[in-house]
Chains A and B, each alone.
Chain A
Amino acid sequence: MPGNYMPSAAELFRFSPELLLTAAGTLLMIFEAITSPKQKRSLPVFAFLSLLAALALAVAASSDPGPAFNRMLQVDGFATFFRVLVMAIGAVTILISTNYLKQAEHEGGEFYSLVLFSVVGQCLMATANELIMIFIGIEVSSIATYVLAGYLRDDKRNNEAALKYFLLGSFATAFLLYGVAWIYGTTGTTNLSGVRGVLLDPQNAPNAILISVALGLVLVGLLFKVSAVPFQSWAPDVYQGAPAPVTAFMATGPKAAAFAAFLRITMWAFEPVKNHWIPVLWFTAIATMIVGNFAALRQSNVKRLLAYSSIAHAGYVLVALTAASKTGTEAAMFYMVSYAAMNLGAFAVIAHVARKGERRVEIDDFAGLGNRQPLTAAIFTVFLLSLIGVPLTGGFFAKFYVFKAALDSQLIALTIVGLLNSAVAAFYYLRLIVIMYMQPAPEGVDTLPEPSLGIRTALVACSLATVVLGVFPSLVLDIAGRGASFIR
């Protein structure tokens, strides 16, 4: 297939955020190798600034939407929405990590470099209009995250988390890739718009069984990445074992990007055959919500509790996907933003309270936090209330839009199960708040140092985002609506 492969200037501009982040990540590795330990302190600043610059470029690139690199990428409002989201998540992750790594005596440019590479992968997943590109994006994002999960290599829990994540993650990616091969076999293309075209063409409609098998395999891979039941078992172990800032990153960034790819595949490429996947997602959504919430009830470790809560939240987003409508897509996009804000914030508090060696990650370690550090406790409460879905927080509108979209699509049973689940979820979040305020601090507890500048900034940013999303949800919902119109 001869042709001009040289990308045009417009295409390079559309791809510029990823180019910038790749260059910055590579430079960080060079800097890490040649700088003195004292100079290394500026490496996180460099990584943070390059993320902000890439974010600005992504916003600028949205003024000239269109395809890039032989239609492998599609830079549109939808892609920009998720690109900006994952870059913001990366920036907040860096804010949370600096002090944590200093305490663990494992400061290094590699950590920030890996965060940048992972964000590049997630951006690719958001912009990809091609199954192979989605696969490459998932791999770039995942491989960097596997290493991050085991970053403190002297820590046994880190090693366990990294190995489990790696083995199960590769296994799931293999399913995805096999599904891609089936899709190519049945439709003759891996381009998402091409697949949609074939499925819409009534003249030579592909065999329905073959399409179902192909889609099923791809869904296994994607459901694994968003930790939906029955592919959720890795999440609690990995989230618990990984360093707290990495858990914050894993629970938000890769998940948001996976949902971006999920939405593009289901709502755009396979939208013509939505009757095939709606029942699958219906069952998965119900099972994910129930398993996540009921398992969270029994946890005593805060990181594990939030891991199960993140499984449950994936279930709510799946409800929005099951709605299979533009409102559903918008709701899912809004949900990912508010979920990212409250989860990053909650994990920032955990990273702060856990301190060196993460010895204080049990629920009882949070006893008396309301007296010991009233401000931190208050901010943590905001995040927990948002996770419950209390009005005036982002979590409320996230759930509201999801269930509204479900009702618009006549998914009455799914909405009822979801609402009942929200009530169950309130119990374990409230328990944490009660322990924080009502129980005295245990005897002989050492004083908790003030949060570092990075954590303070992250907490302020996340709580502001949570409250703004809860008071003026239309700010983000309008952008999500414009983005959603690109894929539906």
Chain B
Amino acid sequence: MPNQLAPAEVWFPILTQVVFAVVMAVALVGVGLALGKRVKNKVKDSPYECGITPVGSARNRFSVKFYLVAMLFILFDIEAIFLYPWAVVYRELKLFAFFEMLLFMALVLVGFFYIWKKGVLDWAVDETSDEKIQ
């Protein structure tokens, strides 16, 4: 029973973990500082070295396509998430689980087919006519 152990024994693994975390962090940053070559210029100091300019108006207009893609990403991401618990209990549920997941995939594929036909994935469409995206 854990409550019969002395407090030191109970907390020792956690103490070990904290020590390891501190040592690792200090070591990694220290090694970097000691061995790394340092370059200082304007580009290097910017928050996103390879990204968009961090300063400017936040009210730029983005094409609605970005939002659509973001939403579709979430949908298919959720599909992938469902696969994990399914894989864990697969042996126990046997064929039933197989067909259930097949059905689930088929339904998601219908959604995929639908957005494809609706033209959501056509990025080359002329910007001025939004007829394709409905």
Contacts and interface: CB of A to CB of B under 8 A. Distances in A.
A33 B116 CA distance: 9
A191 B107 CA distance: 28
B118 A33 contact: yes
B123 interface: no
A99 B92 CA distance: 51
A5 B98 CA distance: 12
A6 B99 CA distance: 10
Interface in A17-45: 26, 29-30, 32-34
A2 interface: yes
Contacts, number: 22
Contacts of A108: 134
A26 B110 contact: yes
Interface of B is mostly: helix
A421 B35 CA distance: 82
Contacts of B92: 2
B121 to A, nearest CB: 12
B113 interface: yes
Nearest to A5: B96
Interface in B102-134: 107, 110-111, 113-114, 116-118, 134
A364 to B, nearest CB: 36
Given A2-B92, A33-B118, A26 B113 contact: no
B96 A26 contact: no
Contacts of A30: 110, 113-114
Interface residues of B, number: 14
A33 B117 contact: yes
Interface size band for A: 10 to 19
Interface in A228-260: none
B93 interface: yes
Contacts of B97: 5
Nearest to A30: B110
A26 B107 contact: yes
A261 B13 CA distance: 49
Contacts of B111: 29
A146 to B, nearest CB: 14
A290 to B, nearest CB: 42
B93 A5 contact: yes
A33 B96 contact: no
Contact of A34 (B93, B95, B117, B134): B117
Nearest to A2: B92
A5 B93 CA distance: 7
Contacts of B113: 30, 33
Contacts of B116: 33
Contacts of B114: 29-30, 32-33
Contacts of B107: 26
Contacts of B134: 108
B96 A6 contact: yes
Nearest to B117: A33
Nearest to B134: A108
A79 B96 CA distance: 27
A287 B100 CA distance: 46
Interface of A: 2, 5-6, 26, 29-30, 32-34, 108
22 contacts: A2-B92, A5-B93, A5-B96, A5-B97, A6-B95, A6-B96, A26-B107, A26-B110, A29-B110, A29-B111, A29-B114, A30-B110, A30-B113, A30-B114, A32-B114, A33-B113, A33-B114, A33-B116, A33-B117, A33-B118, A34-B117, A108-B134
Given A5-B97, A6-B95, A30-B113, 6 more contacts: A6-B96, A26-B107, A29-B111, A30-B110, A33-B117, A34-B117
Closest 9 A/B residue pairs (Cβ): A33-B117, A6-B96, A5-B96, A29-B114, A33-B114, A26-B110, A5-B93, A29-B110, A30-B110
